[in-house]
Amino acid sequence: MRVALIHYWLVNWRGGERVLKAIADLFPEADIYTHVADPDLVSRELPGRRVLTTFIARLPFAKRHYQKYLPLMPLALEQLDLRAYDLVISSESGPAKGVVVSPHATHVCYCHAPMRYVWDMYHEYRAHAGGLTRTVMAPLLHYMRLWDQLSAQRVDHYVANSRFVASRIEKYYRRPADVVYPPVAVDRFDAATESEDFYLSVGQLVSYKRPDLLVEAFNALGKPLTIIGGGEMLPALRRAAKPNVTLLGPQPFDVIRDHYARCRALVFPALEDFGIVPVEAMASGKPVIAFGQGGATETVVDGVSGLFFHEQTADALIDAIRRFESRSDGFDPRAIRAHAERFSEEAFKERFRACVSRVMPGWQGSEPHALADRVRVGARRGLGANE
């Protein structure tokens, strides 16, 4: 069986790329296609793999400004000749699933999220865009929206990275999806039993992740908060933060792991599709104080591995911090760590292998009983029943 993996672009190494690598591990002979790739990144993270790019990679400054070529990406995907492949697996967050496959081939899409800037976060992105960008966004993304919905019908089976994403696949594409949570390198973290007197936030400092709530709430509380991450909001947040709030900017993995181990709790105000950061904190034995919508509701167990606040406001976050401190001794680091292990790389591979073996009966994958976490969203054809 010949297999092709399609990924939107390989210029950073984040959650989507870790999923691609885990899938590639299951298919060591698969070819990988992408719009643009950083050769150094590929050689470091996917050594020995055959990686092919679309014509986008040959356009001027594509390695840095690839997203500006978004209108051409549907055409680029459709130019890929995939006639030789029996199984095509697309990794979708940017344009990836719109390839044209042979009638005999099966196309499985692992969807991290329908393109957020096209669908649910369109108005958010447009509101923060510059004048010229805002002018062209409406007609451009109207076209992208039509293509994205049309190309969604080319996929035979969807796998979503959370129930939250599965519900949006049903909303925008009218298709059901399985749920297989993405892999988190939980083995790289140790459950710490001791904590220091500071809270922690880790992540990109962009508007939709709401780091402004963190600064506002902890300015009012006066409690120590350390924020790790870079992004467009970093300068403004540094100006607004009081001395009890420390913004470290981007940091290497060892520094992040050390802060996970020492913090009192992770604070997570973002609405995310899944959210790897809370799982990493829990793998370190630390509870998570999270906004109670999106992927965090599927990874954090209220009262066991953390607690939720239900409005994205500073007052709601302040109330959650106070509730946490009134019961902070009730969180068991070993139980939190044990919960995080269900999101390991091994668990992802087993569940994704089970999905593929069910839709490709000729592939010698795992036994049918090793099923993925399944969600049936809608009444159309799909792979299964509720979790």
The residues that bridge with 89 in the sheet, in sequence order, are 5, 108
Cβ neighbours of 240 (radius 10 Å) = 14
CA 138 to chain centre: 26
Nearest CA-CA partner of 114 in 181, 165, 178, 177: 165
CB-based contacts of 29, cutoff 8 Å, min separation 6: 2, 3
**pLDDT at position 381, please?**
33
DSSP assignment of 276-292 equals HHHHHHHHTT--EEEES
**Contacts of residue 382, Cβ cutoff 8 Å, sequence gap at least 6:** 157, 158, 175, 176, 177, 178, 376
- Residue 387 confidence (pLDDT): 34
Spell out the residues 6+ positions from residue 275 whose beta carbon is closer than 8 angstroms to its own.
Answer: 268, 290, 294, 295, 296, 299
Q: Mind listing the pLDDT tens digit of every residue in the chain (387 residues)?
A: 899 999 999 999 988 999 999 999 999 999 999 999 999 999 999 999 999 999 999 999 998 899 889 899 999 999 999 999 999 999 998 899 999 999 999 999 999 999 887 887 777 777 777 777 778 778 888 888 899 999 999 999 999 999 999 999 999 999 999 999 999 999 999 888 889 999 999 999 998 899 999 999 999 999 999 999 999 999 999 999 999 999 999 999 999 999 999 999 999 999 999 999 999 999 999 999 999 999 999 999 999 999 999 999 999 999 999 999 998 778 999 999 999 999 999 999 999 999 999 988 766 543 333 333 433 333 333 333 233
- Following DSSP, what letter does each residue of 40-68 receive, concatenated? HHHHHHSTT--EEE-GGGGSTTHHHHGGG
What DSSP line would sit under 301-315, residue for residue?
Answer: -BTTTEEEE-SSSHH
pLDDT at position 361 is 76
Contacts of 58 (CB under 8 A, 6+ apart): none
Residue 50 and residue 28 in contact, taking contact as beta carbons nearer than 8 Å: no
Name the residue with tokens 């470091």: 44
Q: How high is the pLDDT of residue 362?
A: 67
Read off the amino acid at residue 33.
Y
User: What's the fold here for domain 3-183+345-359?
Assistant: Rossmann fold (3.40.50)
Task: List, for residues 37-81, the tens digit of each pLDDT value.
Answer: 999 999 999 999 999 999 999 999 998 899 889 899 999 999 999
Chain length of the chain: 387
Q: How far apart are CA 288 and CA 267, in angstroms?
A: 6
Q: Where does residue 40 fall: left (phi above 0), alpha (psi -120 to 50 degrees), or beta otherwise?
A: alpha
| Dist CA 281 CA 287 (whole Å) | 7
**In this prediction, what percent of the chain has a pLDDT beyond 70?**
93
Instruction: Answer whether 0.75 is exceeded by the pTM.
Output: yes
227/318 Cα distance (integer angstroms): 17
Among residues 257, 274, 24, the alpha carbon closest in space to that of 266 is found at 257
Residue with tokens 């496959």: 101
Q: Which segments of 129-286 are extended strands (E)?
A: 157-160, 178-179, 199-202, 225-228, 245-249, 265-268
Going by C-alpha positions, the residue among 220, 211, 319, 337 that lies closest to residue 268 is: 211
- Which part of the chain is CATH 3.40.50.2000? 3-183+345-359, 186-342
Could you tell me which CATH number the domain at 186-342 has?
3.40.50.2000
Q: Which contiguous run of DSSP H or E holds residue 3?
A: strand 3-7
Cα separation, 81 vs 58, whole angstroms: 17
Alpha helices in 152-210, H assignment, sequence order: 163-173
Distances (CA, A) of 240 to 74, 218, 236: 42, 11, 6
Specify whether the CB–CB gap between 188 and 383 falls below 8 A: no
Q: Identify whether the C-beta of residue 227 lies closer than 8 Å to the C-beta of residue 201.
A: yes
pLDDT value, residue 289: 98
